[in-house]
Amino acid sequence: MSVVAVIGAQWGDEGKGKIVDLLAEPADVVVRFSGGDNAGHTVVNQFGEFKLHLIPSGIFSTKAISVIGNGVVVNPRVLLDEMAALKKQGMATSRLFISDRAHLVMPYHILLDGLEEEARGGKAIGTTRKGIGPAFADKVARLGIRTSDLLDRDVFRERLSAILAHKNSILTKVYNARPLSEDDVYEEYCRYGEILAPHICDTTALLAKAMNDGKDILLEGAQGTLLDPDFGTYPYATSSSPMAGGGCLGAGIGPARLDKVLGVFKAYCTRVGGGPMPTELKDKVGNSIREVAHEYGTTTGRPRRCGWFDAVAARFSTRVNGFTHAVITRLDVLDTRPTLKICTGYELNGEKIDFFPASTTMLEKCQPIYEELPGWQTPISDIRDFSKLPPQSRRYLARLEELVACPISIISVGERREQTIFKKPVW
């Protein structure tokens, strides 16, 4: 039995979806444990191309059960659309289970996400506007509504009535916006509850049984460590923990059960939304990476900011997660580059630093210190054997491995499941 966590090690969109789809085939259970439909996970396999927001990327596995854990905030409308789209493409969703403790994204969360962003003006976070921040804020403020609340109409009515009165006064009095109708929200969410009821259960019991039966469990992270509310570039962060620790909490698994923690890194860096990114390239090289790699958001379609690999941030990510395996994705995107840069330190106020500062104001002032390596300038997407990679590309990987301080086990050289090189087995 193994419990393996797949964690975003940068600012999200590292290719977690591809890696989970790849590792899910032999797995027994795949659990999404954090975030909500702010996530966009792309999977390209023999069944087609899919963009998943809430459903675990293990849904294509022939035997695995898919779980949406307690740590996820669920927009039931998005979930039902996603289930319907998968069914239309011939995929079964009968083995999908949703934690009865998962919180719901309500219509006022989405409205407030937009209104709060507008109010931030030039300091906007650049959220996905899916209501994720307000939903997690309500969870800790004890103002949330959970999936289990939908299973009892009276309980739901009572809870909604009290909470919506409060939310409507914020909408009308703070933002001068229109209030929401309690009856409309009630009827809409009761309908969702009826359809989703067969999928809602105590998923921790299901996971405990799987572990006791010696099954293999995959925890699927959303977002990335540098967006974590504690360790990311706060306040330019998301609102739940995308990290390995968040995996235990968001799935309901004790930390001692975690066997392997995979940190997924892109071979360069991207970020979508606001906040500091020391290695961002606002020049021809950055634009060319964006176009070659189609770096546009899976959820919002926004152009992703592109830059060189930031080894300072990456090493920090390894430390706070305790990665046991590194996964490098999108190496093929660098195929045409004559040279490659890796940021090995920052210059701050004339001094060299090698740590990832807590302060975003400080991070904004950090200038990257680069090391330059030769490129390989040859296509690598058809290579499946590590030893067949061009020597320059092996040298680049060796340097990343050294700087990130974690052994590389998987190298991804294309979007498709089979475009993968295993340096070390995971299961």
Contacting residue, 2, 204, 287, 298, with Mg ion by CB under 5 A? 298
233 touches ligand IMO by CB under 6 A = no
DSSP label of 294: T
Query: What CA–CA distance (Å, rounded) separates 289 from 286?
Result: 5
Active site residues: 13, 41
DSSP secondary structure letter of residue 105:
P
CA distances from 159 to 121, 182, 185, 298 (A): 33, 11, 12, 34
| φ/ψ of residue 321, rounded to 5 | -100, -25
Segment lying near ligand GDP (by CB under 6 A), choices 159-167, 312-320, 327-335, 361-369: 327-335
Kindly tell me which of 127 and 318 has the beta carbon lying closer to ligand IMO. Answer: 127
Residue 305 contact, options Mg ion, ligand IMO, ligand GDP, none, Cβ 5-8 Å cut-off depending on partner type: none
Scanning residues 31 to 90, which ones bind Mg ion (CB under 5 A)? 40
Applying CB under 6 A, among 34, 225, 329, 409 the residue interacting with ligand GDP is 329
Residue 413 contact partner, candidates ligand IMO, Mg ion, ligand GDP, none, CB within 5 to 8 A by sort of partner: ligand GDP
Q: Are 305 and 286 contacting, i.e. CB atoms less than 8 angstroms apart?
A: yes
Number of residues that bind ligand IMO (CB under 6 A): 25
Indicate which single residue of 3, 9, 17, 236 sits in contact with ligand GDP (rule: CB under 6 A): 17
Q: Which is nearer to ligand IMO, 364 or 382 (CB)?
A: 364
Choice from 3, 10, 18, 250 touching ligand GDP (CB under 6 A): 18
Nearer to ligand IMO, 41 or 290 (CB): 41
Interface with ligand IMO includes 128 (CB under 6 A)? yes
Select from 204, 195, 193, 194 the least CA-distant residue to 67: 204
Phi/psi at 15 (5° precision): 110, 25
Q: Is 70 in the site for ligand IMO (CB under 6 A)?
A: no
CB 310 within 8 A of CB 269: yes
- In terms of Cβ atoms closer than 10 Å to its own Cβ (0-12, 13-18, 19+), residue 345 is middle
Among 356, 350, 354, 369, which residue's Cα sits nearest to residue 279? 369
Q: Which of residues 208-227 bind ligand IMO (CB under 6 A)?
A: 222-224, 227
Q: Choose which of 55, 217, 414, 417 interacts with ligand GDP (CB under 6 A).
A: 414
Counting other chains too, the contacts that 90-95 makes at CB distance below 8 Å and 24 or more residues apart are 90/47, 91/47, 91/59, 91/60, 93/55, 93/59, 93/66, 95/64, 95/65, 95/66
Q: Judged by CB under 6 A, which of 23, 40, 148, 343 binds ligand IMO?
A: 40
Gap between the Cα atoms of 386 and 383, Å rounded:
8
d(CA 278, CA 301): 23
Task: At 415, list the tokens.
Answer: 């979007």
39 binds ligand IMO (CB under 6 A): yes
Taking CB under 6 A as the binding criterion, the range among 121-129, 147-155, 316-324, 397-405 that sits at the site for ligand IMO is 121-129
Choice from 133, 144, 193, 247 touching ligand IMO (CB under 6 A): 133
Give the list of residues 6+ apart from residue 412 with CB closer than 8 angstroms, or none: 15, 18, 19, 327, 328, 329, 330, 331, 419, 420, 421
Site string for ligand GDP, 283-302 (x = CB under 6 A): ---------------x----
* 420: contact with ligand IMO by CB under 6 A: no
Chain residues binding Mg ion by CB under 5 A are: 13, 40, 298
- Footprint of ligand IMO on this chain (CB under 6 A)? 8, 11-13, 35, 38-41, 125-128, 130, 132-133, 222-224, 227, 238-239, 272-273, 298
Which residues bind to ligand GDP, rule: CB under 6 A? Answer: 8, 12-18, 40-42, 44, 298, 329-330, 332-333, 412-415
